[in-house]
Amino acid sequence: MNVHKIAGWILIADRDLRASTLPLCNEAAVFWMHSSTEGYLLAYLLLQGEDRPRTSDIAELVARCANYDAGFLEFADFACEMTSLTSYAYPDVGEDDFVDPAKAEKARAFAQRIEEFILARMPEEVIAHAEQLKRHKSSRGLDAPTGE
């Protein structure tokens, strides 16, 4: 198990989830929620010994995680929608260029549930290392919380 790499993804996912709570338009917030969700799912897959999948498709990542823990199936219903909410960022993909506030709130709840679900399954040494990385970056003025 590469504790440093897994902890790094946890740190990125945490940063992105925090970024999504800043006063942003729904599109930007959903982008960061998607990124956070992807980071947590990647950390879980790395924990299982997989190489980092080269995809941002939340449904695909959830399905891969479900191969190790059937509890991930509870996230399957919204996973496709979570990915589709960021289609506005790609001019040839999305029809809409905005995210409905209700869908943004649903995405926020989804991202937070993923965070809780995965952190509950992480070994203490990974969590401790992620916290150590966070303190180290913060002491250098990196990833400092904003808007608080």
Structural domains for the chain: 3-139 (1.20.120.330)
Encode the chain (148 residues) as per-residue pLDDT tens digits: 899 999 999 999 999 998 888 877 888 888 899 999 999 999 999 999 999 999 989 999 999 999 999 999 999 999 988 888 876 655 555 555 677 888 889 999 999 999 999 999 999 999 999 999 888 776 555 554 443 3
Taking the model in full, what pTM does it have? Answer: 0.85
Tokens standing for residue 31:
């982008």
Give the C-alpha distances (Å, rounded to integers) separating 37 from 93, 122, 138, 140. 21, 15, 22, 26
Tokens standing for residue 51:
């190489």
Tokens standing for residue 29:
């917030």
Residue 118 makes CB contacts below 8 A (sequence gap 6+) with: 40, 41, 43, 44
